[in-house]
Chains A and B, each alone.
Chain A
Amino acid sequence: MSKPKFAMYWAASCGGCEIAVLNIHEKILDVDANFEVVFWPVAMDAKYKDVEAMEDGSITLCLFNGGMRNDENEHVAKLLRKKSQIMVAFGSCACEGCIPGMGNFSNVNQLIDTAFTTLSTDNPQNLRPQTSYEVPEGTLTIPTMNPLLKTLDQVVDVDYYMPGCPPESHQIAAVVELVIAALQGNAQLPPKGATIGAGNSTVCDECTRKRNVKLIKEFSRIQLTHPDPELCLLEQGIPCNGIATRSGCNARCPSVGAQCIGCYGPAEGVVDYGARLISAFASVIDSENPDEIDKILDGLVDPAGQFYRFNLAGSLLRGSKYAKNGA
């Protein structure tokens, strides 16, 4: 019997998800023993036409990471959807846009200007990439950027969501084990649309810091203070996103003294991650005076960036008006 086929692809992402997969150590040998890897650009040579030639539904498991920044990303997402039985939005970029999704605060021209003219760029002729260019040999084309980065499920049907930036390796290993067991008939896959490889609660639930009543008189940035190592960070005025973030990472950041930045995405039942954080942060401000409230809020230097660092593309508004109106 031929082995079930496995594919992994990266769209608009950093490659950290691929590293996280390799970080499952010797379990990667189980992947190899149980799957035939048919398409994985970071690990093996394959062309899109090889995938196009495959039968529809012939890939058993596709781990898709990255957001939909351009039409090439969307093309491959649609192609792999057609060829795969189980499509997993793998990692924060595919689930909710992640860091590349913060591009949705700006329009495409602003993004390109930043990439091609800022101080760190050596571009004396002030060149810009052209989506199509004539050379003697013919026309060269590159993909066209979308005005807004989209999440995977805004483009294709997704079977499972696996959050995290990147997903924790122990969670990946557990999911790999589950899929292998399910293929052998020894386990059942969760219902379609489920979030896998993560908890159903919040980061606070896994955090071991001590919690009392939260009453905040001042927000401060973590690099400017010496936070108490035992006490809840938010209680100390450090904007920690744990309250709205899905559990699954064992509260990795708060346990080593850094605030949760929300890479595991919205907790179960949260519709809009940023809105939930607005609600939570505002609730614990210790003031009933509008002027004082405004002064306390000045301590949150970039609230939209704080609340939508990972979730902008997957949020209700999806991006700013600047991103939507320009291109």
Chain B
Amino acid sequence: MTDKPETKFEPVIIGFTCNWCSYRAADMAGTARMKYAPNVRLTRLMCSGRLDPTFVFKAFAGGADAVLVSGCHPGDCHYINQNYKAMRRFHLMKRVLVQMGIEPGRLKLLWASAAEGAMFAREVNSFVEEVRALGPLNWNSNHVHTADHVMSVVAEGHEHEAEVAA
């Protein structure tokens, strides 16, 4: 929800990327100065297999309009096969979220290698437009829906986890 009704709705999207591929893809898009929508706030995990569905539920409960899960292409996992685990969790999570009344279009899985900066930027752009078309989710209407707020909700309880070196 925006403060001024006349301004365009800017979705807040929380993205989870893996350290080895998709975060590097985003990094590549950045170093190559490709412009893409700033609506996605990325959280780097060591692997998409680290994605606890709790993070996704926390993001939605904290006011995110959508969640992006991104990892290495199937077969390319730095940890052998953990991105398959992420894939299975994604499928099951999506079913539960749909039962909760959250549109399937609010959760996206994107495989991106470290070389696919341009693809990453393009996919983020189209995801932002898809979510914009869905409108705000407003899960908890008492919450302030800023990206910083949502990020702080997602990080809650994980403060002790040290930042990992790239």
8 Å CB interface, A261-315 against B: 271-272, 274-276, 278-279, 281-283, 285, 287-288, 290, 293-294, 297, 300, 302-305, 307, 315
Q: Decide: B85 and A317 in contact? CB cutoff 8 A.
A: no
B81 within 8 A of partner (CB): yes
B36 within 8 A of partner (CB): no
Given known A315-B57, A316-B57, contact A290–B87 (CB-CB < 8 A): yes
A320 contacts across to B, CB distance below 8 A: 99-101
Q: How many A-B residue pairs have CB under 8 A?
A: 90
Size category, B interface: 20 to 34
Given known A283-B88, A293-B87, contact A272–B100 (CB-CB < 8 A): no
Main secondary structure of the interface of B (DSSP, over half): helix
Contact with A along B47-61 (1 / 0, CB 8 A): 000001110111011
B9 within 8 A of partner (CB): no
Main secondary structure of the interface of A (DSSP, over half): helix
The interface on chain A, measured as residues whose beta carbon lies within 8 A of the other chain's beta carbons, has a size of 34
Per the bound structure, the CA–CA distance linking A241 and B22 in Å amounts to 33
Question: Counting chain A CB atoms within 10 Å of each CB, which of B54, B60, B74, B139 scores highest?
Answer: B54
B1 within 8 A of partner (CB): no
Q: Decide: B87 and A316 in contact? CB cutoff 8 A.
A: no
* Residues of chain A at the chain B interface (Cβ within 8 Å): 105, 271-272, 274-276, 278-279, 281-283, 285, 287-288, 290, 293-294, 297, 300, 302-305, 307, 315-322, 324-325
* Residues of chain B at the chain A interface (Cβ within 8 Å): 52-54, 56-58, 60-61, 74, 81, 84-85, 87-89, 91-93, 95-96, 99-102, 139, 157
